[in-house]
Amino acid sequence: MHAIRVAAAALLSVTALTFSAPVAVADDGDGDGDDHNITPFGFSVQPSTISAGGRVTLLLNKDGGCKGSATVSSGVFDTVTIRPGQSSATATVDRDAKPGAVYEVTFSCDGVSGHTELTIATGPPGDPTPVAVPAERGVRAGAGGSVGGFDLKEIGLGATLVAGSVGTAWYMSRRRAAADDS
């Protein structure tokens, strides 16, 4: 009888762990299962939204990955080289960049490359201050996460955990009552 209880508890634990474990997926969304942004070096474009004609800073964290010169290219500015010992460079965005467009910026070093996005803001040409692109929808604030439907896995996991807690409390109280009667 004891083995059945242990097996049931083990099966319940494994099932709960299976449904609650996050799934790690490394995909860039293009369907080929190949992630182009996993590089041994970090990179970013600051600011990530800029008006046409503005200047952006291209940041490269070479720790542990980029030994030589790095090149940064995009369809919206000339190719820039970040030399060894440097961690940043600047680039001027073309004045004829289309407001609202998103351009890919590619960082390449030692045969490895990764990319990020640069958004061209709406605003007067040559204005280096970023102007926010209008959002299509506002945020859903104040709903406490209740908007967006039900997730059956989360409901099932919650019900399982509650049932397990109630069952354990009942079992422990019955066990204690039986020990007190003897």
Please determine, for residue 160, whether its predicted confidence score (pLDDT) is greater than 90. Answer: yes
Domain borders along the chain are 42-120
For residues 5-12, average pLDDT: 68
Please determine, for residue 117, whether its predicted confidence score (pLDDT) is greater than 70. Answer: yes
Contacts of 131 (CB under 8 A, 6+ apart): 49, 51, 121, 122, 123
Residue owning tokens 């369907």: 31
Please determine, for residue 162, whether its predicted confidence score (pLDDT) is greater than 90. Answer: yes
3-state secondary structure of 46: strand
For residues 80-96, average pLDDT: 88
What's the pLDDT band for 13 if we cut at 50, 70, 90?
low
Cβ neighbours around 63 below 10 Å, total: 10
Question: Which CATH architecture group holds 42-120?
Answer: Sandwich (2.60)
Q: What is the pLDDT of residue 35?
A: 47
